[in-house]
Amino acid sequence: MEIIVVGCGRLGSALAYRLFNGGHKVAIIDSVQATFHMIPPDFSGRRYEGDALSQDVLVRAGIETAEAVAVVTNSDAINAVVGHVARTVYNIPNVIVRNYDPKCRLLFELLGLQVISSTSWGAQRIEELLTSSGLQLIFSAGNGEVEVYEFIVPPGWSGKTLLDILPTDECLPISITRAGRAMLPNQEFVLTEGDLIHISATDRGSFILRKKLSNQREV
C-alpha cells in the first residue's frame, strides 16, 4: 500500500517506521528537515521537506496515487486542512488525522474526518486503570458467548498463579502486562500485584472471576 505520513515528530516517525517494516511504500513529510533524524537509519521510505499545505509538496510526495494518508502533526489546524484536502480533493479512501488538543475535536467532526486523539484516549485509559475495581469488559465476540476482559491483580493474589485464580474450564489467559511490557502467559505464570491481565471468558467464567475479585476487595 502507498501511504503518506504528514508530520515527522515522535508519533509520525514511529508510524512511518512501523508501516515501512510492514512492507508498505511510505512517504513522510515535515517542514523541518532535522526531524527526519528521528526515523531509524534503515528506513528507506521517501522523505519530503516542505509545508504539507502546499499542493506541490503533496504531489511530490505522491498524493495523487496514494491509498492512505495519516496527518499527525502537532497542529490541529494543519491536520484538519490537509486531511480534508486529501479526502475531498484527491479522494484518498483512507485518511486518519491526529487530534492534538481535545478542545478542537469538533473541527474534525464537522469535516467528517476519522480522528485519533492520543490525549483523550490516554486520559480515558489512565482513568480506567486508576479507578477500576474489578473486571472490565473490552470486547464481545459473536452474541456475547465469549468476551474479553481485563483486570488488575489485587494484593491478595500476588504470588499466585493463573491456575490458582482462573476458572479453567471457562477462562483462558490472553496476556499479562507488567511494567508496560506485555507477555503471553501460561497457567503456571506467577502473578505480581498490579499486573494487568487480559482473559477471554464465557458468561459463567466472568461471573465466577468477578465474584473472586469482589471477595478479594472485601478481605
Q: What is the CATH number of the domain that holds 7?
A: 3.40.50.720
In single-letter form, the type of residue at position 69 comes to V
User: Do residues 44 and 97 share a domain?
Assistant: yes
CATH of the domain at 135: 3.30.70.1450
Average pLDDT of the residues of the chain = 91
User: Do residues 77 and 168 share a domain?
Assistant: no
Instruction: Find out whether 4 and 25 touch, Cβ atoms under 8 Å.
Output: no
What's the pLDDT tens digit per position in 41-91?
999 999 999 999 999 999 999 999 999 999 999 999 999 999 999 999 999
**Positive or negative torsion for Cα 13, 15, 20, 25:** negative
DSSP result, 59-75: HHHTTTT-SEEEE--S-
Q: In what order do the strands lie in the sheet with 146-152?
A: 136-141, 146-152, 196-202, 171-178, 181-183
User: Do residues 99 and 152 share a domain?
Assistant: no
Q: Which domain holds residue 35?
A: 2-118
Residue 123: inside a domain? no
- How many CB atoms within 10 Å of residue 111? 15
- Decide: helix, strand or coil at residue 50: coil
Q: Enumerate the β-bridge partners of residue 70.
A: 5, 96
User: Do residues 104 and 155 share a domain?
Assistant: no
Q: What is the CA radius of gyration of the chain?
A: 22
User: Do residues 64 and 168 share a domain?
Assistant: no
DSSP element (H, E) containing 129: helix 118-131
- Would the pLDDT of 40 be above 70? yes
pTM: 0.71
Q: How far apart are alpha carbons 61 and 55 in whole angstroms? A: 10
Residue 124: inside a domain? no
Give the mean pLDDT of 17-22.
Answer: 95
Q: In what order do the strands lie in the sheet with 114-116?
A: 46-49, 25-30, 2-6, 68-71, 94-98, 114-116
In single-letter form, the type of residue at position 152 comes to I
Give the mean pLDDT of 165-175.
Answer: 88
Q: Which residue do the cell numbers 494518508 mark?
A: 69
